[in-house]
Amino acid sequence: MNSNNFEKHKNLGGFPKGFLWGSATSSHQVEGGTRNDWSEWEKQNAERLAQEAEKKFNHLSNWTDIKAQAQNPANYISGRACDHYNRYEEDFDIAQSLGHNVHRFSIEWSRIEPEEGKWDEKEIEHYRKVIRALHERGMEPFVTLWHWCIPLWMRDKGGVTSKEFPRYFARYAERMAQELGNDVKFWMTLNEPTSVIINSFMLGVWPPQKKSVFFTLRAYKTLAQAHREAYYAIRAVQKNAQIGFGNILKFCEPMRKNFFDGLIARIADFWLNRYFLKLTGDTHDYYALQYYFHMRIAFPGKIKNENERLSDLGWELYPEGIYHLLKRPEYSKKPVYITENGLADARDAQREWFIKEHLRWVHKAMQEGVDVRGYFYWSLLDNFEWDKGFWPRFGLVEIDYKTLERKIRPSAHEYAKIIKSNSLES
């Protein structure tokens, strides 16, 4: 069924009262001035990434627009990013003016515990202020504890594949719950562990670039254990906390209706979507779904999407996929939050369409019984998109990286209308 057919099925009532509307960011991508495993890796790899850009991206239709930036090593250094560390109040003012009633952000572990066992009170106080600034603006803080970056001392102990990782991570989680728990209800332990497992260990393209089956399997185990231990650590401090982890699900379907395509789609679905969840057992108070990718798979593993619409990164835009993912049986058991969904779109040509179409499919799933309680667009601001650097523009708000001026994109106002009427029919 394509999205036009959805018209036939729609019944565009409103969203439930109290639905959480907002957007998400992560510390390393917006704050600026972070010092962690990623910032160090960026310095060592910026030249190489700039040299590889042409080969990786010259197939994109916007290649001429991004070429100069993508071939400039400076693009690959997160540096001051959006300076959100100093400008969070201004940024939250914008989110508030757009009607957001929730904001998801991450705490930067390397700031909090820059050396093993040494807690930086000043940085804890910073996040206390961030949380207070959200409450003052009527926004619920949704706090991520690990959005991929780790302190350098943890990196030197072997990073996320170290057997010690779960213990150290849970200790940090416990500390955050003690320090901030009075003002935070929603905790997300890990953001998209499978993205790191795949990119760092299966493909070997993200830090620490350890491409190996052994490390891949090890990372599934250590990260799942880290989530579980952090879950119990937070729970012990805060009885009423809502705790989960941000799961990226890729909508995998067989390209043709034959046995082999079906088999390969099921195998992909298992490794990408099911295995990690299985390892975490019942340590979820809610499910956090993050949706970007559709994979129509043909045996022995080729992805053949229809690609009717693409983002600036060449990722297929396939709103219907979110519906099929929400309809998985596990999602009818607990509240669900869409904690990320977004696209790179520098010209803001597709963002309004993208948000509305995804919300239509989310709404349909809700009408069919899925208890979705929030939608967080990725991202509030343009930001540092990991190994791609600054050229992909995901923001509701555009950043001029020279002046750091913020400019609200038209699509953000369209999203604000939906929020205001709490409905797709404004």
Nearer to ligand FCB, 62 or 238 (CB): 62
Nearer to ligand FCB, 230 or 424 (CB): 230
Encoded tokens for 237? 């401090």
Nearer to ligand FCB, 119 or 315 (CB): 315
Asked whether 396 and 23 are in contact (CB, 8 A), the reply is: yes
Which residues share a beta bridge with 372? Answer: 336
User: What is the per-residue DSSP string for 161-205?
Assistant: GSTTHHHHHHHHHHHHHHHHGGG--EEEEEE-HHHHIIIIIIS--
Among 192, 261, 269, 357, binds ligand FCB (CB under 6 A): 192
Binding mask 63-92 for ligand FCB (x = CB under 6 A): ------------------------------
Burial class (CB in 10 A: 0-12, 13-18, 19+), 48: exposed
The answer to the question of residue 245 lying near ligand FCB (CB under 6 A) is: no
CA distance 143 to 27: 11
The answer to the question of residue 31 lying near ligand FCB (CB under 6 A) is: no
With contacts defined by CB under 6 A, name the span among 254-262, 271-279, 301-309, 378-386 that binds ligand FCB.
Answer: 378-386
Which residues share a beta bridge with 375? Answer: 21, 338
Which of 70, 106, 56 has the alpha carbon at shortest distance from 379?
106
Residue 4 beta carbon to ligand FCB: minimum distance, rounded to whole angstroms: 26
Total number of residues binding ligand FCB (CB under 6 A)?
Answer: 11
Residue 1 beta carbon to ligand FCB: minimum distance, rounded to whole angstroms: 26
Nearer to ligand FCB, 242 or 379 (CB): 379
The answer to the question of residue 378 lying near ligand FCB (CB under 6 A) is: yes
Residue 299 beta carbon to ligand FCB: minimum distance, rounded to whole angstroms: 27
Among 71, 72, 195, 305, binds ligand FCB (CB under 6 A): 195
Encoded tokens for 253? 């379907």
Residue 336 beta carbon to ligand FCB: minimum distance, rounded to whole angstroms: 17
User: Using CB atoms, what's the residue nearest to ligand FCB?
Assistant: 192
Binding mask 141-180 for ligand FCB (x = CB under 6 A): ----------------------------------------
State which amino acid sits at residue 43: K
The answer to the question of residue 385 lying near ligand FCB (CB under 6 A) is: yes
Binding mask 302-341 for ligand FCB (x = CB under 6 A): --------------------------------------x-
Residue 248 beta carbon to ligand FCB: minimum distance, rounded to whole angstroms: 6
Which residues share a beta bridge with 397? Answer: 381, 408
User: What is the per-residue DSSP string for 64-132?
Assistant: HHHHHHHT-GGGG--TTTT-HHHHHHHHHHHHHHTT--EEEEE--HHHH-SBTTB--HHHHHHHHHHHH
- Please list the active-site residues: 340
Give ∠ CA 361-366-368 in degrees, rounded to 5. Answer: 100
Binding mask 339-358 for ligand FCB (x = CB under 6 A): -x------------------
Among 323, 386, 390, 415, binds ligand FCB (CB under 6 A): 386
Nearer to ligand FCB, 220 or 292 (CB): 292
Give ∠ CA 135-390-404 in degrees, rounded to 5. Answer: 55
CA distance 110 to 85: 14
Nearer to ligand FCB, 119 or 275 (CB): 275
Nearer to ligand FCB, 216 or 238 (CB): 216
Helix (H) or strand (E) holding 7: helix 6-9
Which of 147, 111, 150, 148 has the alpha carbon at shortest distance from 127?
111
Residue 28 beta carbon to ligand FCB: minimum distance, rounded to whole angstroms: 9
Pairing between strand 302-303 and 294-298?
antiparallel
Neighbours of 204 (CB within 10 A): 14
Residue 148 beta carbon to ligand FCB: minimum distance, rounded to whole angstroms: 7
Encoded tokens for 26? 């992560």
Residue 343 beta carbon to ligand FCB: minimum distance, rounded to whole angstroms: 8
The answer to the question of residue 248 lying near ligand FCB (CB under 6 A) is: yes
Which residues make up the interface to ligand FCB (CB under 6 A)?
26, 29, 191-192, 195, 248, 340, 378, 385-386, 394
